[in-house]
Amino acid sequence: MEQKIRDWIRRDPLGYAYLLDFYRRGARVCWLDEEGVALKNDVIDICYAGGRVPLDVPEMRNSLLLLTDDESAKDTLIAEGDYIIWDEFYQALWQRELPEICLPEGVTLRPLTQEDVAFVVANYHNPGAYESHIRARIDEGMIGAEVNGRLAGFIGVHQEGCMGLLEILPEYRRLGLGRVLESAIIRQQVGRGRLPYGHVRTGNAASIALQKKMGMDFLDRKVYWLFPD
């Protein structure tokens, strides 16, 4: 089955390589034909749909979260009351040599531990900032940046495999910590045989600028995260 997914994404490696990564993290194939593929990870109840997938595929309507790049499917699912939109995103993918990590003076990196859970929960300002989720993200491998021995920011990988959870405390911004942390998580992902990709909200100018400065390649179309209405 993996080879069939590989064959499907070969038409657009930048646009669809994330599907193979998602499959390797434990998703199963719900649908695959010439026009589209749908994968569902039942443990985390997330469905990834690439291309045109029939909306009568059960997983397209019965998932905790659905990611699709099909604008028509997104509009129909919302209009019919199955989902509301969380947001629309650009997809960014790292396709270069491993980035160098240039630490500013006084900055060190370290793996986060379970002792850091309270700090992450208190400072991560996006969905998913609850203790059980953060503990699982730390177990998978979150990275923290310290400035003169004080934890100033962190980054990790979401449960579906997308890089994220990036947060820098306000007093430590503009020190280059975002680039340092993202370089570190890219190196970690590559070292584990994972795909270094991320989803960036279309309205997040600061994050878009960071990804472009990093050298991430952007998909030329949007992807949409939906959750049940």
Residue 169, burial from CB neighbour count under 10 angstroms (0-12, 13-18, 19+): middle
For residue 196, give every residue at least 6 positions away whose Cβ sits within 8 Å of its Cβ, in sequence order, or none. Answer: 93, 94, 163, 185, 186, 189, 190
Residue 125 pLDDT? 84
Residue 172 pLDDT? 96
Residue 219 pLDDT? 85
Q: List, in sequence order, the alpha helices (H) in 68-164.
A: 71-79, 117-123, 131-141
pTM comes to 0.92
What are the average pLDDT values for consecutive 10-residue runs of the chain, which has 229 residues?
94 90 97 97 97 97 96 97 94 94 96 97 84 94 97 97 95 94 97 95 90 89 92
Token pair 């997040």 is at which residue? 204
Residue 128 pLDDT? 67
Q: Quote the DSSP letter at residue 64.
A: S
Residues 135, 100: Cα–Cα separation, whole Å: 28
